Amino acid sequence: MAAIILAGGGGRRLGRPKPLVELHGRPLITYVLKTAMEVVDEIIVVAGVGASKALRKLMPERGELLEDLEGGLGPLMGIYTGLRSVRKPYALILPCDAPLLNVDILRYLLEAVRGYDAAVPRWPNGYLEPLHAAYRVEAALKAAEEALEEGRLEVRGLLDKLNRVLYVSTEELRILDPELHTFYNINTPEELERIEEIMAVREGNPL
């Protein structure tokens, strides 16, 4: 199994590129890398144009760092860039700003995707989590390419091109992660502070 980590976030509201934002003294992306390494044996990080130099020293030995084929086109181009290099039949697609990723949920999705083109968490209100999902690489690569050729840059364009998508209820996933912290990501200083508080409580040192 493989994992593609999207590390192209600019982090304008956080004052620096998102993967390099510090959380408890460590770059944000290192938390995602650590969790992914517990689940898969191939890791690909797709960085924004010009950001690869700063990220290279953070890469694990079995990781591969790629530069987005065409910057500024959003996450679907990053997904496409990563899928082109994956050697495994299935891959997780993950954001770089979700430090509370749950190992059991990632394993669950990789098991669930067998026989499907994708296994995508879905909230009760219908909101999808395509960047916390598992994909069959061959199908996803073809779908991403077709969507990009049509000028559809949103990740939903990829999902619409897939034939067999398994939508996994987030309520079902609460068995593994009751608070669904795995889906918490960081876009603002306030969200960064909230996750710092959660991590401090987990470590027995509430702020």
- Domain chopping of the chain, boundaries: 2-202
pLDDT band at 77 (very low <50, low <70, confident <90, very high): confident
Whole-model pTM above 0.75? yes
The sign of the dihedral angle between the CA atoms of 70, 47, 189, 202 is positive
- pLDDT at residue 11 is higher than 60: no
Q: Which pair of tokens denotes residue 29? A: 């992306």
133 or 196, higher pLDDT? 133
168 or 62, higher pLDDT? 168
- Contact, 69 vs 155, CB < 8 A? no
Q: How high is the pLDDT of residue 73?
A: 62
Q: Which residues contact 125 (CB under 8 A, 6 or more apart)?
A: none
Q: Which pair of tokens denotes residue 172? A: 């079902």
Q: How high is the pLDDT of residue 112?
A: 96
| Phi, then psi, of 7 in degrees rounded to 5 | -125, 35
Instruction: Give the Cα separation of 17 and 54 in Å (integer).
Output: 10
| One-letter amino acid of 46 | V
Please report the DSSP string for 51-66 in residue order: -HHHHHTT--TTEEEE
- pLDDT at residue 117 is higher than 90: yes
Instruction: Give the Cα separation of 138 and 178 in Å (integer).
Output: 33
Task: Name the residue among 16, 8, 3 with its Cα closest to residue 44.
Answer: 3
Q: Which pair of tokens denotes residue 97? A: 């700003």
Q: What would the CATH number be for the domain defined by 2-202?
A: 3.90.550.10
- pLDDT at residue 71 is higher than 70: no
* Percentage of residues of the chain with pLDDT beyond 70: 89
Mean pLDDT of the chain: 87
Q: Where are the beta strands (DSSP E) in 29-182?
A: 42-47, 63-67, 90-95, 118-122, 133-136, 165-169
Beta strand pairing call for 22-23 and 26-27: antiparallel
